[in-house]
A and B are shown apart, each in its own frame.
Chain A
Amino acid sequence: MTIAGTGVSGVVDGSGDTARFSAPYGIVWVNGSLIVSEGVHVLRQVRLKEPNAAEGRASSWLVQMIAGSSGVSGSADGSGVDARFNTPRLLAVDRSGNIYVADAYNHKIRKLTPNSGFFPVGLATGSTSTEKVQLSNAGGWKP
């Protein structure tokens, strides 16, 4: 089954049945979502829209950019879309949910430290001025 991507090349976020990928390369499963590296210098997340959504339907999934800028290479560290990669390849994840990136043509190993909104599963439990949404696992979620 296809959970995301139309088969047409592109970088389009949105519902799995309409989202487009350009050159997906690496993929890891992190706390209930998939993180995908793209050859166009970005990392994207694929997750179920709702905890109980039908996993077999592409329309149940949501694709969103999480780091980097599509088509823009660079090596800047920073938050989310301010960061730059140069052809990120395979990914790894540690026990805390940090994601490691083989940033091929920057010749670097990069680390993505997710914030509390990174794992968009379930309920809002509070927030701070800098993190609008703090999430926790919802009942029934199947990581």
Chain B
Amino acid sequence: MGMLALLLSVIQAVSLLTVLGTCMSPIIPVTELGKIQGGFVSTLAGSGVAGYANGVGTSASFNAPFGIAFNPVVWQFPLTGQFMWLIKVTTGFAVSAQRER
């Protein structure tokens, strides 16, 4: 216990806040707990060229999509532009569009 107390004191003294993860994990700075590590951004659909082409994934085209919503069956993307379009992206990222009335 004495060694543990000494160790804790040293840690506090140098403000080296660490925790030890489980399963032989390396020491992790506490300051990194909660720090966002990022994430990976990928392109789900859209060629990058403005348009209204249906297709799969990046072969489809959007024109300045602003809205997006998720439901368990399809993703739906109301688009802006001269007309309002409702775009559905189904499993496999197939894009189909219909003009809203």
Contacts and interface: CB of A to CB of B under 8 A. Distances in A.
Contact of B33 (A66, A79, A99, A135): A135
Nearest to A66: B36
Give the bracket for the number of chain B residues in contact with chain A: 35 or more
A107 B65 contact: yes
Contact of A106 (B28, B46, B68): B46
Identify whether the interface residues of B are mostly helix, strand, loop, or mixed: loop
B94 interface: no
A90 B68 contact: yes
A-B pairs with the 5 shortest C-beta distances? A80-B38, A117-B37, A108-B46, A120-B34, A83-B41
Interface residues of A, number: 56
Interface in B51-66: 51, 61-66
A103 B72 CA distance: 21
A125 B17 CA distance: 16
B20 to A, nearest CB: 8
Given A90-B67, A107-B61, A109-B68, A79 B34 contact: no
Interface stretch (A2-10, A16-24, A126-134): A126-134
Contacts of B42: 77, 110-111, 113
